[in-house]
């Protein structure tokens, strides 16, 4: 992550160029500026990680059933 001063934040052309390379950290006020595409990718990755973590918690708590067993039980129950 690149670091810039608060004064450099006023130069939009430089900020735009820097943001295409990744997030930019403004040192004086702990502000992070980034390209919207980068932000959306980051949020998507966080959401995917949360889903995976939830699945792992379910599996460790034995709240997960084998799909084939469940489908076979439904086929028998509804004579499919």
How confident is the model at residue 12, as a pLDDT? 87
- Which parts of the chain have pLDDT scores under 70? none
pTM for the structure as a whole: 0.67
How confident is the model at residue 28, as a pLDDT? 84
Tell me what percent of the chain is helix, strand and coil, each rounded to the nearest 5: 60, 10, 25
Phi, psi for residue 30 in degrees, rounded to 5 = 50, 45
How confident is the model at residue 29, as a pLDDT? 83
């Amino acid at each position: 992550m690149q670091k810039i001063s608060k004064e450099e934040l006023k130069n939009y052309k430089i900020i735009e160029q820097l943001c295409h390379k990744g997030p930019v950290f403004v040192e004086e006020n702990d502000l992070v500026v980034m390209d919207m595409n980068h932000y959306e990718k980051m949020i998507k990755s966080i959401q995917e990680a949360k889903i995976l973590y939830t699945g792992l918690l379910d599996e460790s708590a034995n709240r997960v059933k084998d799909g084939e067993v469940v489908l076979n039980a439904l086929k028998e129950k509804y004579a499919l």
